[in-house]
Structure 1
Amino acid sequence: MTELQDDIATAQFDAALEAHESLIADFYTPSCVICKKIEPMLGALEKSLQGRLHAVKIDAEANPELAAKYQVRGVPTLILFRGGRLVDRKSGFMTATMLRQWVEPHVGG
């Protein structure tokens, strides 16, 4: 299993958006079972795309201002950014195949 980097907060998130052409933000809560299942799949996808996608996880409870900014209403919520702009979002469980099929058209897979 491939883990995502440690949680990031608002200031770190803004820096990550500027530093990476394609970024996926995984909004979660520590008690979310589905979130724990998605994390290793997202980490594996990030690794397989070899630098074309950067993934970060954000605790929605610990970062309510960031969750509110991106209108996170439930977890898991995955938000895909390209060139610093929000391009798509998904909420709820996805299989590894569904995740790949959703992300690849946006990052050139």
Structure 2
Amino acid sequence: MAGKKLTCLACGQMNRVPFDKLAAGPKCGTCGAELAGGTVAEVDLATLEKAARNDDLPIVVDFWAPWCGPCRQMAPQYQTAAQALQGQVRLVKLNTEAHPNAGAKYRIRGIPTMAVFSNGKERARQSGAMPSQAIVSWITAHT
């Protein structure tokens, strides 16, 4: 069957999305949540691990915390980048304060830190706040 495997970031269910539907905002067959709609989803460690390991579309995670000024400053830029890259990659956020094991597992030394995962492996990492154009360029160069 042609298409891309995507983990629903809301319920964790695996979905297969036809190539021609990726940019059209496909929804999860189980819960109806958007799968690749150009919005940033908040995820937990288990969901990130499953998506990074199984998805056919690259996933970019922003490791952040609510008390971090640069993280809050970058949030709208990250959302703009997600809209620009809709259907090509999925952008997610993981709150390292709410999920401290994630910071330890991925050796996060400073926040915000973005990491690109593709085919089950971390492909690139970048720390520090960036404007949306730089985020898009960095992601495009590593996917």
Q: Tell me the TM-score normalized by structure 1.
A: 0.84
Check whether the contact 1:3–1:40 (CA below 8 A) recurs between aligned residues: no
The answer to whether the aligner puts 1:32 opposite 2:68 as a matched pair is yes
- How many residues align structurally? 105
Kindly provide the amino acid, as one letter, of the partner of residue 19 in structure 1.
D
Partner of 2:16: none
**In 2, distance between residues paired with 1:56 and 1:79?**
10
Partner of 2:134: 98
Alignment CA distance shift 1:42-1:20 (3 Å):
farther
Structure whose alpha-carbon radius of gyration is higher: 2
Partner of 1:14: 49
Question: CA-atom RMSD, angstroms?
Answer: 1.7
1:37-76 to structure 2, matched below 5 A, reads 37-76=73-112
Check whether the contact 2:40–2:93 (CA below 8 A) recurs between aligned residues: yes
**In 2, distance between residues paired with 1:40 and 1:80?**
19
**In 2, distance between residues paired with 1:3 and 1:35?**
17
Hey, which of these two has a bigger chunk of helix by percent? 1
Structure 2 residue runs of 5 or longer lacking an equivalent are: 1-37
